Structure 1
Amino acid sequence: MTHSMKSSRKKRILMGIFILLTVSLFIPTPYYIFQPGSVEELSSKVAVENANPSSEGKLYLTTVLSMRASNIYYLAYGLLAPHAAVERSTSVKGDMTDKEYNRWLEYLMNSSQKNAIIAGLQAAGEDVVIHAKGVVVQTVNDKSRAKGILEAGDIIHSVDDVPVRNSSDLLSYLKGKNAGDIVTVAFQRDGKKKSGDIELIPLVHSETKAGLGIVLSDHTEMETSRNVKIQAGDIGGPSAGFMFSLEVYKQLQKEDITKGYNIAGTGTIDQNGRVGQIGGIREKIAAVDQADIDIFFCPRDIAPGDTNEKEVLEEAGKYGYDVKIVPVETLEEAIQFLEKLPPKQ
């Protein structure tokens, strides 16, 4: 083989490698990368009418930075970077489209804020009136005939012109129906009214013989004794709910419940003040370690599948994080802990 032929072959190989590397930049992978996000102070995000917002210490929410592994290089980074986790997109958002997933995250955050306001005000002895206003679609079963008609985040207001205020109303109406029956569902999506005819499918382990084949939760609105505004910015999902509720409660107390400490935390919240499990707890405690936080509230493990308490304690022990970890089951439990806490020296 002549020198010129060898040189030409080498150039073709290098060109092939270059093309392969360039093309690989544009091939998305089916993964998400999760990393430690920000630790954000809450008093600037929560405004309670006629409140007592001043305190020596502060409350903080914690976030996880999530990004799509849009090519193999991002994926490699996610696999190698410290405190990063990689998950398949199906385990993150199921079979939702990106638009559905973003709408669902927005709904979860709005619902979480509403629950936080209700729980925080009630813990402070304030009056709150809750009105049932329909049911919200969480997921649509693969076998459901509602596929392509209903999406995550849709709010159902009536079925066959019968008002649906809560999930009990929907179940009561469907009890007399059979698989194959067609019902007209009126719902709201992104502020717009829509409707669709949906064939019912057979259900097992259900109060009804037939149903829409969706997972749903109650959608409510509230009347409160005073105005509360939460400005979450671009934070999505429900995991800041517990800390929002604690901030609402804090601003209604005459005494400083922080006792001078910097206190962060995470967890969902329901209207009764119960704290629920969240994703990304390992990334959140890593973010807390870098932010001069004294105390970190996390959801207590109660149900068999709960792992938040276990994971956060494992992570703190593994890396020697200097923060007091306090697992809680309810907002009230967190308040009681703070009441017994000696002032920071």
Structure 2
Amino acid sequence: MIKKRWIFLIIVILFLQFYQLPYYYSQPGGAKVLDEVISVDGGFTEEEGSFMLTTVQMGKANLFFYGWAHLSPYRMIYPEEQLRFEGETDDEYQHRQLMAMTGSQEIAKIVAYEAAGMEVEYEHKGVLVTTLIEGMPAYDVLKIGDHIIAVNGKEVLTAEQLIDQLQGMDESITVDLTVIREGQEQIIEVGFSAFPKEMNAPPGRVGIGVSAPVTDREVTFHPEVTIDTSQIGGPSAGLMFSLEIYNQLVSEDITKGYQVAGTGTINEEGIVGRIGGAGQKVVAADKAGADYFFAPNEGGASDSNFIEAKKAAEDIGTDMQIIAIDTFDEAIAFLQSLPEKS
């Protein structure tokens, strides 16, 4: 009888461990010191403090994690459809996150090099189509691997430019996309439609059905810079990447001896954008002993990442200061205003 009970208990434990639910689970991750993963050839290496990216640990939820998530405000559960596109596998989702991290690194390099007055060379190839949304107009006329180089004859060099060109449309409109496919240039007419409900798009918003377009270009930096972040995905470390790279390009140590953590996307204009899991990243930064945490201010929005981070800092009782950041230049100005840490 005892053996049967043990066998039953083992079966229950294995079921709780390995039965995956249609949810993702997340919790505070860690803080990675960036001078250990970023290296500018011949760059400044005498940092007294450090810049740190903060992470959220995420994976598929089993029954154990689903229950555990309800015991802490810093453990979260997300339905699959909130994170993954329809028909997208877990491996494809992870690949998309890694692609976003790669794009984030490139933009961070551009922002830092231009701010430091260093040389950046570009060879543009267009906007790469990586994902098409089934049931939307582009699904039947575009192909994965196409490069979009113009909208209605107006050149587009980046994914941001493509998105800007396609905004403000309605379902009665069509546009002509100039596309490079297998080395041949062609013009493809495409219309607009509402997004599938599971994508939770704002009411009335329409699109052609190209998801996660990628700016495809070769960018050369002088001096060379390398970033090794292994399997960390997503674009949320853009701000912190740019600060670490900039610090290695200039002769002064802008850390001033402080441990500076933070989060936030960044675009080529140096504008810092919203991310997910700000509160969880505050917990991670506090555990790592950070003095300051940079959080996207989003122009002072009432529900900004800064507000979320501030509430989390108060909740856990940390001495770490939360700093509202809208731009790369604001972050630099704040650091320059600090006295040297004694």
Fold shared by both chains (TM-score > 0.5)? yes
Contact 1:203-1:211 within 8 A present in 2 as well = yes
- Aligned Cα RMSD in Å? 4.0
Give the letter for the 2:103 counterpart: S
Structure 1 residue 129, shift from structure 2 partner: 3.1
**In structure 2, C-alpha distance between the alignment counterparts of 1:169 and 1:269, rounded to whole Å:** 18
Structure 2 gaps of 5+ residues are 195-205
Distance 1:93 1:169 in 2: 22
Letter in 2 for 1:129: E
Over 3 Å counting, the alpha-carbon distance change for 1:21 and 1:294 in structure 2 is: closer
Is 1:324 paired with 2:321? yes
2:243 partner amino acid: L
Distance 1:147 1:305 in 2: 37
Shift of 1:309: 0.8
Structure 1 distance, partners of 2:304, 2:156, is 35
AA aligned to 1:121 is Y
Paired residues of 1:146 and 1:199 also in contact (CA < 8 A): no
**Cα 1:112–1:201 shift into 2, 3 Å:** same
Q: Secondary structure at the match of 2:284?
A: helix
Which residue in 2 is equivalent to 1:214?
Answer: 210
- Per the alignment, residue 290 of structure 1 pairs with 287
For 1:313 and 1:138, the matched residues in 2 are separated by 36
Question: 8 Å contact 2:120–2:219 — kept in the other structure?
Answer: yes
Q: Taking structure 1 as the reference length, what is the TM-score of the superposition?
A: 0.77
* Aligned positions, number: 319
Q: Which residue of 1 aligns with 2:201?
A: none
| Pair 1:234–1:213, CA change in 2 (3 A) | closer
Distance 1:101 1:30 in 2: 14
Equivalent residues in 2 for 1:102-251, closer than 5 Å: 102-137=94-129, 140-147=132-139, 156=147, 165-166=157-158, 200-203=190-193, 212-215=208-211, 216=213, 218-251=215-248
Deviation at 1:79, TM superposition (A): 2.2
Counterparts of 1:261 and 1:313 in 2: how far apart (Å)?
Answer: 19
Check conservation: 2:137, 2:193, Cα contact below 8 A: no
Residue in 2 aligned with 1:59? 51
Q: For structure 1, which runs of at least 5 residues remain unmatched after alignment?
A: 1-6, 205-209
**1:78 and 1:86 in contact (8 A); partners too:** yes
Instruction: Give the Cα separation in 2 of the matches to 1:278 and 1:63.
Output: 11
2:69 to 54, 75, 78: 78
Query: Any conservation in 1 of the 2:137–2:192 contact (CA below 8 Å)?
Result: no
Higher Rg of the two aligned structures: 1
In 1, Cα distance between equivalents of 2:104 and 2:253: 25
Is 1:43 the equivalent of 2:40? Answer: no
Q: Structure 1 145/249 Cα, relative in aligned 2: closer, same or farther at 3 Å?
A: same
